[in-house]
Structure 1
Amino acid sequence: MTRTWFITGTSSGFGRLLTERLLARGDRVAATLRRPEALDDLCAEHGDRLRTARLDVTDTAQVGQVVSDAFADLGEIDVVVNNAGYGVFASVEEATDEQIRRVIDTNLLGSIHVIRAALPHLRAQGHGRILQVSTAGGQTTYPGFAYYHASKWGIEGFCETAAQEIAPFGIALTIVEPGATPTGFGTALDTAPPMPEYAATPAGEIRQALTDGTFVLPNAPEKIAQAMIDLVDSGAAPLRLPLGSDTYHDVRADLMARLTEHDGQRDAAFSVVSDETEAP
């Protein structure tokens, strides 16, 4: 079955891999990126099955226009992939105000704007899929990534709510959570001048691993892109799709630890229930 996809952040990484694989099998792709010329080779090869558009997801007005134009030009769009992202590595004290704003504007607000812009069109056609690319760091945390986590935990909460609201319209939403993968994202991480106070801390240790190349990247980017395609082809629509051994193990360990801590606070939780309410 031939499908039409709208994908953000297609210049590299998962966005580029998805675009290549989908075009190779005969699908149509509306690819957005900051520099459309980065896909000139694919345009030459695949012609009008690839539609490119310049898009900065932090520009709300531009998001609305680009999404509307894509639906107008292509008719129905089956799958919207929210993939554009920005990463910053810095301790809580080290990051600049500009870096904090950019990671929230791109990963959280940018993703929200794309979904909001697409929903009226998806509702009108009565079907559609949204794949929100998050990360293992949308449910667990690592030192040095506090602001990245803030954006990803935020978008996951938004998507959990949105998924419930849009299901009656035949629209499914899945949060995709890749683990550490050699897509070039790590080398493109924005950083801040390190504070010597953090050198001998967990944040300093991860910074050193990123610098010397010993930070483990256990997953294959091509397999992650294919897993996303396979999910859509299967018709399954889980709320979350964990991809990577690190994602599975780290998120599971964090969820178990949180549940244990949560259960340990049961007495405190019920201690504040009003006397008129019967505690279960």
Structure 2
Amino acid sequence: MSTRTWLITGVSSGFGYEMTRLLLEKGEKVIGTVRKRDKVISLIEQYPDTFICELLDVTDVPAIRKLVDRSFEKFGRIDVIVSNAGYGLFGAAEELSDEQVDHIIATNLTGSIQLIRSSLPHLRTQGGGRIIQMSTYGGQVAFPGNSLYHATKFGIEGFCESVVQEVAPFNIGVTLVEPGGARTEFRYGSAQVAKLMSEYDRNPAHGFLKMLDASNGLAPGDPVRMAERIIESVDQEPAPMRMVLGSQALAVTLSTLKARVADFEGQIDLAASTDFPSGE
């Protein structure tokens, strides 16, 4: 099988780094974006011909478009777009600053949307390809103290679920990856925390503090195994719409969705009561 070319955002750590490392070991080509090159110097030196490191801040929409256009022009074809760049923001909704709200939306939601939008004309022209959007089981399940992160992930899931139907006729597949907790910098390094208010002490909104403290036990997810499953998904036809990674994440997602369906089923008479009577 011929080698593929991948464009992956946010490859300096976490899933982006592990995917890039595994792909390069397999002989694939990776265009990987970072905000600083220092964390990927070893990859730059080890794979000078197959790893193209690009500086990108995904909140800079014109820069996203220029990078995507330049990459397709240089390589002729890019087989897989991985929208991975993002971060977590913890704190009660009231505790978050306006700047924090704006920045996480610009990064996790708008940046992902614009990367995909910028890629679609190229993927369509070349006759197909695959888009992988990194989400989280928090795109289906919400916890206190994580409202803006959930807002971005619920948002990108709705966007992708619509887009997948638009681009299927062009042989473009879209997959939402929904990992559970994993031992990455997302939880143990890059997570941002609001300026906490004493009014929320002993409130469920501050439950995340225990989760972020590694001394309370590490997350169950192995980022390398997760990266392997993501890479393997590109060979599945048709592209899976969603992939939940982690047994704990799947169990919580299933219980949440079952409760949601039961709630909707209990509203059948209420919903019907707002229709015009039959024949009118």
TM-score, length of structure 1 as denominator length: 0.96
Name the residue aligned to 1:19: 20
How far the C-alpha of 1:128 sits from its partner, in A, is 0.1
CA distance in 1, matches of 2:214, 2:9: 31
Name the residue aligned to 1:256: 258
Q: Structure 2 vs 1, CA of residues 219 and 91 (structure 1 numbering), >3 Å: closer, same or farther?
A: same
8 A contact 1:7–1:29 mirrored in 2 = yes
**Equivalent residue runs for 1:106-185 within 5 Å:** 106-185=107-186
CA deviations over 1:80-104 (Å, ceiling 9, x no partner) = 0000002100011111111111111
Q: Which amino acid in structure 2 is aligned with residue 26 of structure 1? A: G
Q: Which amino acid in structure 1 is aligned with residue 45 of structure 2? A: A
Name the residue aligned to 1:270: 272
CA distance in 1, matches of 2:76, 2:40: 22
8 A contact 1:136–1:178 mirrored in 2 = yes
Q: 1:195 aligns with which of 183, 194, 197?
A: 197
User: What is the number of equivalent residue pairs in this alignment?
Assistant: 278
Name the residue aligned to 1:65: 66
Let me know the Cα RMSD of the aligned residues.
1.4
CA distance in 2, matches of 1:32, 1:183: 18
8 A contact 1:86–1:102 mirrored in 2 = no
8 A contact 2:145–2:207 mirrored in 1 = no
How far the C-alpha of 1:196 sits from its partner, in A, is 1.6
Q: Which amino acid in structure 2 is aligned with residue 205 of structure 1? A: G
CA distance in 1, matches of 2:111, 2:217: 28
CA distance in 1, matches of 2:142, 2:217: 15
CA distance in 2, matches of 1:268, 1:213: 48
Percent identical: 45
Q: Structure 2 vs 1, CA of residues 242 and 209 (structure 1 numbering), >3 Å: closer, same or farther?
A: closer
CA deviations over 1:47-82 (Å, ceiling 9, x no partner) = 221111111111010000001111111110100000
8 A contact 2:89–2:193 mirrored in 1 = yes
8 A contact 1:206–1:215 mirrored in 2 = no
CA deviations over 1:114-158 (Å, ceiling 9, x no partner) = 000000100000010000000010000111100000000000000
- Give ranges in structure 2 of 5+ residues lacking alignment: none
Q: Which amino acid in structure 2 is aligned with residue 241 of structure 1? A: M
How far the C-alpha of 1:212 sits from its partner, in A, is 6.1
How far the C-alpha of 1:36 sits from its partner, in A, is 2.8
How far the C-alpha of 1:206 sits from its partner, in A, is 2.7
Name the residue aligned to 2:93: 92
Q: Which runs of 4+ in 1 moved over 6 A?
A: none
Query: 1:10 aligns to what SS in structure 2?
Result: coil
Query: 2:44 aligns to what SS in structure 1?
Result: helix
Q: 1:205 aligns with which of 207, 218, 226?
A: 207
8 A contact 2:173–2:238 mirrored in 1 = no
TM-score, length of structure 2 as denominator length: 0.96
CA distance in 2, matches of 1:212, 1:241: 26
8 A contact 2:12–2:39 mirrored in 1 = yes
